[in-house]
Each structure stands twice: as structure tokens, then as C-alpha cells.
Chain A
Amino acid sequence: MRPHRLAFVLSLAAGPALAGSDVPRHQLTPSPEGNLVVGLCDGETSIEVKGVKPGDQLTREQGQQIAGALMQEWRQKHPDAEWIVAAADGAPEAPGAGASAESQFQTYGAFTGRDRRIWQESTERLVAEGKRIFHDDKALGGTNAVSCDMCHPDASNTHPETYPKFQVQLGRVALLRDMINWCIENPVRGKPFADDDPRLKALEAYILAQRKGIALDYGKH
């Protein structure tokens, strides 16, 4: 059986990225006596804490007891589950793999593997949105049913690594976004995007993401 990975608290750090309306929420049954009810992050298991009302201050020991009781209940429900403590998820990573006790530590950079996955997911969402717009003449505001991918499959031949460069046909130095807007105005026959337009940002994200690993070479012709 596939090992279950579990953590006790659905991290608040995930809030901005994950707390969309589409995320299922754990509906806790209220206690008849108005006691505190704590839910496990499996979305199913919960426990009523006798004698403690919501908002009461808990000691560390009480918290550990609640956690232990929840965990015990989960284990009873999943007797065959191979429990792996997600150590890598929980502990802040010092710079460098297998860092020694001497390694430097500071708050900035003290992110976990989970943090990185959340950031990665947020980034990929922007890239995916850019990909959607890149392939959609309506989203581009085009008027002749032409979308970027028709000439640039997988954003090929967009060479974002070569900007800024002097664009002879424009008579000035251009950035990638200038060329995106040029294409939107001309082959796509739409209106150029403002510099802070989220669609422009998403398009840039998608185009750059397709050139991962290519050396920057601004000014290249």
C-alpha cells in the first residue's frame, strides 16, 4: 500500500495559493456542549476536547495530547498504513544538502520542501495561464482568429533570451513585451496590452518558461 503522508496542521502558509473556493473544507460537527472540536487534515477525523471551549488558551501538553489522540484515531482507521514522518516537509532547510551543524541559518531562506512546492505550483499556474492565452485568439483580443501558437508552437522562435535588442523594423531597442504587443497588434489584429496587464505578464511567463536552460544573450540577432 502506498505510504500516507500526513501533517497535523493544514499550513496557513498554503493560504494564498490553495485557499480558493474550489478547495474542499473539512466540515466539523459542533460539540453539543460547545467544546472545542479539532479536525485532522485528512478531512475526516475530528476530536472533541472535553472541558475546553473555542478560544481557550491551551498548554503545549494539551496540544500534544490532542495531536496524539487524533493520530491514534487515524491509525486505527488505517491499520495497514505505513507511517512516514514527513521530516523533510517540516524542518526548515539549511542551505546546501546535508548541511552540517555549523551551517548558517537565518529566517530568510528558511523554507521547507512544502514551501517550494507551493511556490512552484503558483508559478506553474501563471505559466499555464500564459499558455492558455497564447493558444486562444479571443483571450488575446484578436479579431482574425489568429493565435500565437499558430506560428510559434511551444513558443518556438520567440527567443526571449535575445532581448533587449535593437529591432531594425521598429527603429528602436525592443523588449520581449514590445514584440508580444507587436504581434498582438499586427498578425493577431488586436489591441496591445498595457505594461501592467496580467495577460502580458502571463504571456511573458509562458514564453520564458519554454526557454529554461537557454543562456541569456541580450542583443543577439
Chain B
Amino acid sequence: MAHKSIETKYYEERASFFGDLTRLGALSRRGFLQVAGVSAGIAAAKGLIVPQSFQLIEIAQAAETATPAFTIAYISDTHLYTRKVNDRFVRSAVKAVEEVNALDPQPDFVLFGGDLAQLGRPEELDLGAQILKDLKAPLKMMVGEHDWFLDMGEHWRSLFGPSQYSFNYKGIHFVTLMSVQEKDFWTARGMTPEERMHTVAGLDNGVQSRFEVGPEGRHWLQTDLAAIDKKTPIVIFSHSPLYKYYRNWNFWTEDADDVQAILAKFDTVSVIHGHTHQLLLNRIGNISFYGLLSTAWPWPYAPEGLPKLTVQMNRADPFNAFDGCGDGQLNVLASGMIDKVYNLWNRNPVTVRANYLSSNGTKDRPGATTLSSY
């Protein structure tokens, strides 16, 4: 018999586990639970994993207590160059689209979390639009700084419409906020649009300004929310985190305090944000914050400022181009709160319950990391 490494055996077992569940697609939940239970039992008996870390079991258990009213899938931070320049990021984006299309049942809609392009070029944005066109479910777009600072969003808007909008869906008020405005750092330095874009594209490039929603954006938000009842659950889509995590990398929104103040009157607020490329959780007052995964590359946790409620994801394997990347789902509960699934490629997915954040970490804590940051 051919030698198989521990990793190979592990991945084969996992493939067969998830394969079974995929085939079960149309079966009853009873059958689903049986297969999930059997597979988890085998895995647990071999000491490979703790059963509850398997995402689909968690969903099955969750189904007993908190049935999602509906599901949103997300794809974020694809950072596309053109195919000729870099095919890997293109493959990752396509992989995410295929995964979302394979979800059964399909999500009510798909959120794209921003940074579709790497350098905001029309051909990059066009490629992204073409890849996202293959999604079966409707698409909600959000803009990121990588899409914006070459032509200040002109081409992005021509493809996807306004960068700031709101809509009501199944009793929830959704707002997509343009939160990656930056104060003009380029004119005084005589930068070309390309230089401006390159500066913003460098996470550790301190020449740029900090992200902000800006006075106009905040005014728009205030007006948009004026007529909304405080009991209506609010979900904000924002590319930047809408709080202050780490300034040097623009894991930061300069006017976050003002934006949070606008949201303070509502009972239930969730902020879903891109940009940080990591499992990232926070709770400030009434607001739960969830970061999105990137399909292109993961980012290390910042050296300081990490919100204490964040359960770190294991550090990425540099030898695996997809590790630490992924996509995921937002399971919107009847309460308007969100269970968030981090679908980490090549790993067991992590589900973060709404309760975990709303209880300030006292309930439903996700499994701890075994490979913490250096």
C-alpha cells in the first residue's frame, strides 16, 4: 500500500465527509443529521478533531434552536489583476463563485465585500464583473479602496451603480456605506492617479490618509435612518471596519465614533465589513462587528488593537496558496441578528453565533486557535 502522509489521510477523510453531505443535498434533515453524526463519530474516534468544530454539524444543531430566517452568502476582497498578470487571484474568485453557486438552498442574495480589483483598473473591474455575473443569486456590491482611488470610483460606479445605498428586506434595513473615503493626500504631493492608487494599495504605506465615512456620508446615513423605527434590525455593509483597530494599516475608520453614535439608537445592529482579510469579531455598545475573509490572501493580526472578543483564526500555512482565504455565509436569524460562517478553504469552517457577540463573549465561544500569531 502506498504511503500516505497524515495530512493526506486527513484531507481524504474530510473530502469523503463533505462529499456525503453534498450528496445528501435534497434529503431530509433527519438523514442529514445521521450522516453528519456518523462521520463526526468516526473522526472523533480517531482523535482527529473535536466533533463540534465541523461546521455542518453546528448548523444542524443550530437548526434545532435558531432557524435562520434567510441566508446571505459573501465573497470579498478578490484583489483581481487581469488574468494575464496573475491567474491565481482569478482562480480564487472563480472558486468562491462556484462554491456559492453550489449552496443548496441558494442564499437570498450574495454580498460582495469590496476590493474587487487590485489597482482599480477598468480591465480588472470588468473581469470582476464578468466573474460575479456567473452567480445564480442576486448580487449586492460594496466598493473598496482598491476599486476607487485610480479614477475615484468612476468606472466602478458605471458597472455597479451608487457606492452608497440602502434597502429593506424581510423586515431588516440594510445599508451599504461608502467608508473608504480619504482626505486628499495626493494633490499637494503632485501624484498621478496611478501613484495615488499605488499608495492606497500599500497597507503599510503611511503616506495615505485614514479611512472615513466623511461628513457627507454621515449626513446621508443619518437621513436614511431618520424614519426607521429603533426596533427594526439594522445591517450595515462597510468595507472598512467602522471602528478603530490598527491605524498604521488602515484597519481603521477615522470617524467611527460618529458613525457608531448614529447607530446607537437601534436595538439590533450588525456591521459586516471587508478589508481586514481575517476572522475578526468585535462588539461595541449595541453593535456586533464581523470581518469578512478574502479570497486572495489572509492578513496577519495587527501587532496591537485586536478586539478582545476576536477568536483568532489559526495562522495561515504559507505553503498553501488558499489557506487562510475563503468565503462564507451570514445566517440572518428571525431576530435580525446574524450567525456568521467563516468558510475557510482547506480548513474546518468556523461558525460564530450572534449570541457570542451579543453576550459579550460569555456564550457560544467559538473554538480557540491552536496556531496563534507569532
Contacts and interface: CB of A to CB of B under 8 A. Distances in A.
A157 B204 contact: no
A203 B204 CA distance: 16
B299 A153 contact: yes
Contact of A144 (B85, B300, B373, B374): B85
A182 B318 CA distance: 9
A145 B201 CA distance: 12
A145 B204 contact: no
Contacts of B88: 144
B204 to A, nearest CB: 4
Q: Which of B88, B249, B318 has the most CB of A within 10 A?
A: B318
Interface residues of B, number: 24
A157 B315 contact: yes
A157 B317 CA distance: 11
B41 interface: no
A145 B203 contact: no
B318 A183 contact: yes
A135 B86 contact: no
A4 B108 CA distance: 71
Given A135-B202, A157-B374, A151 B81 contact: no
B19 interface: no
B203 A157 contact: no
B321 interface: yes
The B contact surface, by secondary structure, is loop
B374 A159 contact: yes
Contacts of B300: 151-153, 156-157
B303 interface: yes
B118 interface: yes
The A contact surface, by secondary structure, is loop
A40 interface: no
Interface in A116-171: 135, 144-146, 149-154, 156-157, 159, 162, 169
A203 to B, nearest CB: 15
A187 interface: yes
A152 B373 CA distance: 13
B169 interface: no
Nearest to A217: B374
A157 B297 contact: no
B369 interface: no
A169 B319 contact: yes
B321 A187 contact: yes
A145 B202 contact: no
Q: Which of A154, A159, A183 has the most CB of B within 10 A?
A: A154
B303 A156 contact: yes
A154 B248 contact: yes
Contacts of A149: 202-204
Contacts of A150: 203, 297
Interface string B282-326: 000000000000000111101100000000000101110100000
Contacts of A179: 318
A153 B373 contact: no
A151 B204 contact: no
Shortest Cβ-Cβ A-B pairs, 4 listed: A157-B300, A159-B374, A153-B204, A169-B319
Given A145-B85, A186-B321, 7 more contacts: A149-B203, A153-B204, A154-B248, A156-B300, A157-B300, A179-B318, A182-B319
